[in-house]
Structure formats: C-alpha cells, structure tokens
Amino acid sequence: MNIVRVALDVPVPRLFDYLAPDSAESDIGRRVTVPFGTGSRTGIIIELATASEQPGGKLKTVTAILRDMSVLPPQWLALCEFCARYYQTPLGAVTSFALPPMLRRGKLPRMKKVAVAVPSAPTPGTVGTPALPRLMAAQQIAVDAIAGVAGFHALLLHGVTGSGKTEVYLRAIDAVLTRGGQALMLVPEIALTPQLEGRVAARFPAAHIVCANSGMADAARARGFIEALDGRAEIVLGTRLAVFMPMPRLQLIIVDEEHDASFKQQEGLRYSARDVAVWRARQLNIPIVLGSATPSLESFHHASSGRYQMLELPQRAVAEAMPVVRIIDTRREKLQEGLSAALLKGLQQRLDRGEQSLVFLNRRGYAPVLACPPCGWISRCQRCAANLVLHLADQRLRCHHCGFEARVPRACPDCGNVDLLPFGRGTQRLESMLVERFPDARVLRIDRDSASTPKKWQALLALIHAGAADILVGTQMLAKGHDFPLLTLVGAVGADAALFAADFRAPERLFAQLMQVGGRSGRADLPGEVLIQTEYPDHPLYQALVEHDYVRFARAQLDERRIAGFPPFSFQAMLRAEARTMEQSLAFLAAARSTAEALAAGITLYDPVPMRLQRLMTLERGQLLVESLSRPALQAFLAKWMEQLYVLKMPGGLRWHLDVDPLEF
C-alpha cells in the first residue's frame, strides 16, 4: 500500500495518512491536495509509508500530488521540523506558515520568462560597479574574519549607526556570489527593505535579488519563493519570515539590527527569526553575521563567553565624531508642555541655522486618556483593560490594543460636563505645541498614524530628505535605519517610564532606542547633539549613553540578570490562556501547573497570574511562566507537558498558547 504522511495546518500535533497509489520517494517535500473533513486542504508530504497506524479505519486517497513546483528540499523540511519541535507547534502549522499564502493554497504564480542565456560563470559581484570605499582597518578585520570562516560560526558585528556595518555585509555577500553561492539578509522592518534593496542592487547590478516580506502582493511573494528554491535568486532580502526561504546554495546569513524585537513573532508560530537563523546556519554549516549598534544581551553574552566571535567597528565611517549626548535634569524645572528650556533653545538654534531637529516621544496620539475631572469619568475601552487614546487629528478615541474606536464625545457621557480634559502627552500634542511655539517652522509628525501605509511613509521620508521639514516629531518609527543628513539635534522626552517598567527587558529596549534615535543626528559633516530629558539624571543607563558605552551598559545589565536568574542565564516559556472570565483562565493555568509538577524536574513553575493587559477584546487573560537553567531540560519538559495540555479539560471558549523564549511579559 502506498501511503503518504502529510503535514496539514490543523491544530493537532501529528501527520495525516492518505493513500497515494502513484506516490514515489521523489514526492517527499511536494505539496499535495487531500480531502479533509467535508472540504479539501493542501499540505506537504513528509514521509512515505506502507502501513498506517492512524486511528479511524479506512484511509482516504489524496486528490492530487502537485508536481508543478520543485520539491521542497530535506533541509527545508528539517528547518520546519526544528521549529515545530522547538516552538511546540504542529509541523503542518509551521510548513503552512513558512510557505507564501499562494503556494499554501495549492496555487502557483505565473512566472516571469527566464532568460535562456544563463551566465556561464558565477555573477562577478564587483565587475562594472562604481569604485568601492577603502575599508577602514576594523572593517577589513571583520571582512577577513567572515571570509576566513569554514563551517558554522556566528559573528557578532558591533558598531554604531554609520560605522560601516552594511559595507561589511556587502563585501561578505560579494565573496559568496563570487563562489556561486546564495546569501540571505534579514532586516527588522518592511519599511527598511526598499532602501536596502536599492543599495544592494546598486552594488550588485548583475545579481538576481529577491525580497520577501508580508507586505508584498501574493504572486510576487510566491514567485520570489520559487526563485529562491530553484537557486535563481542569489540574494534574498527580507523581514523575519524570509528566514524560511528555501535556498539550496545558501552560504551566508546576515541578521541586521539583530536585537530588534520584531524578529520575534507575537502570534501563531511564535518564533524568533534571529534564533532560527542561527540554527539554520549551524544546520548548513555556514557563517552567520549578527549586526547591531546595541546587540541583544543574549548575543552579547554569547560573544563574551566565546560562543560567538565579537567584531567591533568602533568608529563612524563618515562623520568625524559621535553626537554629543547631554542629560537635561528636569526635576527642578517647570516644563513648557513637556519641553525643557534647553531643548527649546536647541530647537530655536537649529531653526536659525536651517538645520533639522527631531523630538522623540514613543507614544502616539494626542493624549493617553481623556478625563472628566468633576465626576471621575475616563475614556476606557469597553473590550480591554486599557484606556482609549485621544486622537485629536481626526477627533477619535482609539484603543491601541484592539483597534476599537469612537468619536470624541462632546460632553461627559456620565455627567454631561463639557469641559473634558486630555491627560498626558502623545506625539500629536507635541506637534501642536511645537507649531504654536515655532510658528515659522515646518513641523512634521511621523508615527504609525501619519505613516500608516508604506506609500505615506515613503512620502514623509522624501519630504525629510528634501529638507522640507524643520522639526520632526516622532516615535521609534523614526529611529530605524534612515539617514537624515540635515538632522543635528535629537531631543528625547518621556523616556523615564521605561526605567522602572515591570518588564525586565525594558531598560535594554530603551537603551537601544535612544542609541538608535541619537544615531540619526549628525551623520554628514554636521555635528550632532542629543538631549535627553529626565528626572533621573544619574541613572547608569543615561550615564552609559553619555559615554556611548554600550559595553558598560550591557555588562551592568547582565550582572543584574545573573543575580536575578533572568535570561540569558535561564530559559523561559510562557503559557497564556484567555477566556470569558479571569477565573476560567487562571483555573486552566492552575490545572496546567498541576500536570506539570510531576514532569518538572529541574524546572521552576511560577504561579498563574493575570497578564499585564488583563483584558483584550473582551477576553480575560492569564499567564504561567516556566523557567529552567538548562535549555535541553526545558525543551524536554515542554514536549511532555504539551501532550498533557492538548488533552486537558477546558471550558468552552478558552484558548491557550505556549510562547517559548517570550519577549513580552
């Protein structure tokens, strides 16, 4: 009997057997359409078998094995199997996620005509390109180190914005293309891919470059996948999902801004593309370069302990100096709409000189809440345990968690008072204050509201580059990977909140953000200045920023984490549950905890607690943290625990998921 074992995207952690009379060994890794329930599904053939142990009697027969696309190679299947194991997710859910939607549905894109004249030699990356900059000594060392790697090796390229990391990546890619290999480069944001694509395309005009991100049209994404699979794509650039691009001659992986939280997916398959990329490099026995101005503490720890090789780029390639960072003590100052005299003066100076400034506030909207002081009413989301944020620009109240929105009421819904007051400050409020204060200045706000589509975002960037804005007001959106040649002043306001946040990773994120946003200033030949407003001027985090001393900051943080037993000194997983009531969620987690007790040698089980955002979309949410000093012990425990969780009794409407290496608490 010819039987195929198929990975299907259903929430059951096993394969499904089907009869396939015409199947052969060469069909492993092919897509297959099968009857399932009353409908039909497309999955991937993982194994062949001659007998089935599947419960439920008679096997159904496959509808069709799709042989119109190249087979997904064993290495790709192994990558998916690793993710299924490591993230405790059914294999079918992983393979389905890893395929572009069109291919997942069993379709194929119309392919562009392939030029018949395949170049006989590998693409000579540097031929016909403009003269390359002479590498600085530190860059040369990095390039040589990467070139000298045989087999798996992880290199951590640490260098501030403008220190020439991208130049190092390009040289390393060049070497790979010359050998006829493929290179994969991951970046955190969709918004960064066009810019990078331009730079890569300019360097390698003859190379076939493919982009991969979730913003692409279905057919284009599927086409890129097939070009990578068939080995035609030489360079793949993309966001986290690009880590799943099949590349038969992959010889180098680069993860730029490797510390960025967006490499971790927060729903469905909760994978970290950086970690998966490292696993993939090990699997293929190739080098991986992780680059950042502020490496994640995990990666920095690996580099300090010798598992990764640290490569430092201590100098900027173009601008002479790093921006001067100054701490503005706001404890004794009466701020004007949140801005200190020093920052206002700095803004005025830049206006006088025709230079650009940026005020960084990581909170969008006009004000975090609208309130009625006489009766105590505040704008709250009906579905979440969160306030509705006031957006004056379009007169709406919005929940930033679930998307609920309503018109701004004319009067208090409880008592009829018409004098409702906005409390706190967001980017819109800063913007209107700056417009009032500097009437001749062109103020431009950049956040997820004003740059809601890639098109709007590109238009805003063009305005900034054309010098059509004097003062930029923005969230961290502005911090990532853009050169603003006229920008010489960055002011950071409202940063203190992150110093004392409940999440132990908040300081790490704040440091990275401030370094990054500061790095926007003073790139060309204009020196930059960064002013940080704070009520904690002596805080070590700010002091390290003044010194541009990431290493000092990282060591201090790692010391704290070692003492507290937090990652990277321990390994964690989070079980989360959501239900109609908090009692139901916590009861489920308590039951899950009891089943864990018997299995949990070497595992710390914490108590189930409500999540920080307790209610989201009317569901009450709880979480249970499990932790171990050993990753293998945690992995072994999770595998056994999951089997029990799948059969645990639960009330109707309850949903749960496991998040391995959670980033959010």
What residues line the site for Zn ion (CB under 5 A)?
372, 375, 377, 381, 383-384, 399, 401-402, 404, 412, 414-415, 417
Q: Mask of contacts with ligand ADP, 509-528, x by CB under 6 A? A: --------------------
Q: How far is the CB of 294 from ligand ADP (least distance, A)?
A: 12
Helical ranges in 148-287 per DSSP H: 165-178, 193-203, 218-229, 273-284
Residue 135: strand, helix, or coil? coil
- Of 100, 164, 518, 567, the one binding ligand ADP by CB under 6 A: 164
- Of 104, 158, 165, 561, the one binding ligand ADP by CB under 6 A: 165
CA nearest 325: which of 542, 552, 102, 72? 542
Q: Return the one option of Zn ion, ligand ADP, none that residue 381 interacts with (CB less than 5 to 8 A, by type).
A: Zn ion
Residue 150: strand, helix, or coil? coil
DSSP output for 272-312: BHHHHHHHHHHHHT-EEEEEESS--HHHHHHHHTTSSEEEE
Q: Return the one option of ligand ADP, Zn ion, none that residue 135 interacts with (CB less than 5 to 8 A, by type).
A: ligand ADP
> Considering only 132-140, 270-278, 417-425, 564-572, which stretch makes contact with ligand ADP by CB under 6 A?
132-140
Asked if 158 contacts 257 with a C-beta cutoff of 8 angstroms, the reply is no
Cα–Cα distance measured from residue 537 to residue 110, given in angstroms and rounded to the nearest whole number: 59
CA nearest 573: which of 640, 653, 650? 640
Encoded tokens for 345: 């003066």
- Of 19, 135, 175, 342, the one binding ligand ADP by CB under 6 A: 135
Q: How far is the CB of 198 from ligand ADP (least distance, A)?
A: 12
Residue with tokens 């993982």: 46
Q: Residue 166 interacts with ligand ADP (CB under 6 A)?
A: yes
Q: Return the one option of Zn ion, ligand ADP, none that residue 377 interacts with (CB less than 5 to 8 A, by type).
A: Zn ion
CB atoms within 10 A of CB 557: 22
Q: Return the one option of ligand ADP, Zn ion, none that residue 255 interacts with (CB less than 5 to 8 A, by type).
A: none
> Considering only 157-165, 221-229, 237-245, 558-566, which stretch makes contact with ligand ADP by CB under 6 A?
157-165
Q: Return the one option of Zn ion, ligand ADP, none that residue 383 interacts with (CB less than 5 to 8 A, by type).
A: Zn ion
Asked if 229 contacts 246 with a C-beta cutoff of 8 angstroms, the reply is yes
> Considering only 133-141, 228-236, 246-254, 533-541, which stretch makes contact with ligand ADP by CB under 6 A?
133-141
Cα–Cα distance measured from residue 259 to residue 299, given in angstroms and rounded to the nearest whole number: 8
Q: Residue 162 interacts with ligand ADP (CB under 6 A)?
A: yes
Q: How far is the CB of 448 from Zn ion (least distance, A)?
A: 16
Cα–Cα distance measured from residue 356 to residue 349, given in angstroms and rounded to the nearest whole number: 10
| Burial of residue 43, with CB atoms counted within 10 A of its CB: 0-12 exposed, 13-18 middle, 19 or more buried | buried
Which residues from 38-97 bind ligand ADP, rule CB under 6 A? none
Q: How far is the CB of 371 from Zn ion (least distance, A)?
A: 9
Q: Return the one option of ligand ADP, Zn ion, none that residue 139 interacts with (CB less than 5 to 8 A, by type).
A: ligand ADP
Q: Mask of contacts with ligand ADP, 91-120, x by CB under 6 A? A: ------------------------------
Q: How far is the CB of 134 from ligand ADP (least distance, A)?
A: 6
Element (DSSP H or E) covering residue 588: helix 582-597
Helical ranges in 2-90 per DSSP H: 74-86
CA nearest 658: which of 610, 621, 620, 623? 623
Encoded tokens for 548: 């541009």
Encoded tokens for 498: 């992150």
When the beta carbons of 483 and 496 are compared against ligand ADP, the nearer one is 483
When the beta carbons of 66 and 157 are compared against ligand ADP, the nearer one is 157
CA nearest 308: which of 146, 483, 137, 480? 146
Q: Residue 238 interacts with ligand ADP (CB under 6 A)?
A: no
Residue 366: strand, helix, or coil? coil
Q: How far is the CB of 390 from Zn ion (least distance, A)?
A: 14
Q: How far is the CB of 166 from ligand ADP (least distance, A)?
A: 3
Q: Return the one option of ligand ADP, Zn ion, none that residue 415 interacts with (CB less than 5 to 8 A, by type).
A: Zn ion
Q: Return the one option of ligand ADP, Zn ion, none that residue 375 interacts with (CB less than 5 to 8 A, by type).
A: Zn ion
Q: How far is the CB of 169 from ligand ADP (least distance, A)?
A: 8
Asked if 279 contacts 82 with a C-beta cutoff of 8 angstroms, the reply is yes
Q: Return the one option of Zn ion, ligand ADP, none that residue 133 interacts with (CB less than 5 to 8 A, by type).
A: ligand ADP
Q: How many residues does the chain have?
A: 665
Q: Residue 257 interacts with ligand ADP (CB under 6 A)?
A: no
Q: Return the one option of Zn ion, ligand ADP, none that residue 167 interacts with (CB less than 5 to 8 A, by type).
A: ligand ADP
Q: Which backbone phi and psi does 86 adopt, to 5 degrees?
A: -70, -40
Residue 387: strand, helix, or coil? strand
When the beta carbons of 136 and 489 are compared against ligand ADP, the nearer one is 136
| Residues 6 or more apart whose Cβ sits within 8 Å of residue 87 | 94, 269, 270, 271, 658, 660
Sheet holding 389-391, edge to edge: 389-391, 396-398, 405-407
When the beta carbons of 200 and 367 are compared against ligand ADP, the nearer one is 200
CA nearest 80: which of 98, 54, 102, 106? 98
- Of 123, 163, 488, 557, the one binding ligand ADP by CB under 6 A: 163
Cα–Cα distance measured from residue 360 to residue 487, given in angstroms and rounded to the nearest whole number: 13
Residue type, 278: V
Residue 567: strand, helix, or coil? coil
- Of 29, 90, 125, 159, the one binding ligand ADP by CB under 6 A: 159
C-alpha pair distances (Å), 14 with each of 4, 104, 573: 13, 18, 22
> Considering only 158-166, 201-209, 280-288, 492-500, which stretch makes contact with ligand ADP by CB under 6 A?
158-166
Q: Which backbone phi and psi does 285 adopt, to 5 degrees?
A: 60, 50
When the beta carbons of 28 and 157 are compared against ligand ADP, the nearer one is 157
Q: How far is the CB of 310 from ligand ADP (least distance, A)?
A: 16
Cα–Cα distance measured from residue 382 to residue 374, given in angstroms and rounded to the nearest whole number: 22
Q: Return the one option of ligand ADP, Zn ion, none that residue 417 interacts with (CB less than 5 to 8 A, by type).
A: Zn ion
> Considering only 13-21, 156-164, 345-353, 401-409, which stretch makes contact with ligand ADP by CB under 6 A?
156-164
Q: Mask of contacts with ligand ADP, 312-351, x by CB under 6 A? A: -----xx---------------------------------
Cα–Cα distance measured from residue 107 to residue 101, given in angstroms and rounded to the nearest whole number: 9
When the beta carbons of 405 and 483 are compared against Zn ion, the nearer one is 405
- Of 6, 32, 66, 136, the one binding ligand ADP by CB under 6 A: 136
Q: Which residues of 395-412 are buried (b: 16+ CB within 10 A; e: fewer)?
A: ebbbbbbbebeeebeeeb
When the beta carbons of 478 and 625 are compared against ligand ADP, the nearer one is 478
Q: Residue 584 interacts with ligand ADP (CB under 6 A)?
A: no
Question: Interface residues with ligand ADP (CB under 6 A)?
Answer: 133-136, 139, 159, 161-167, 317-318
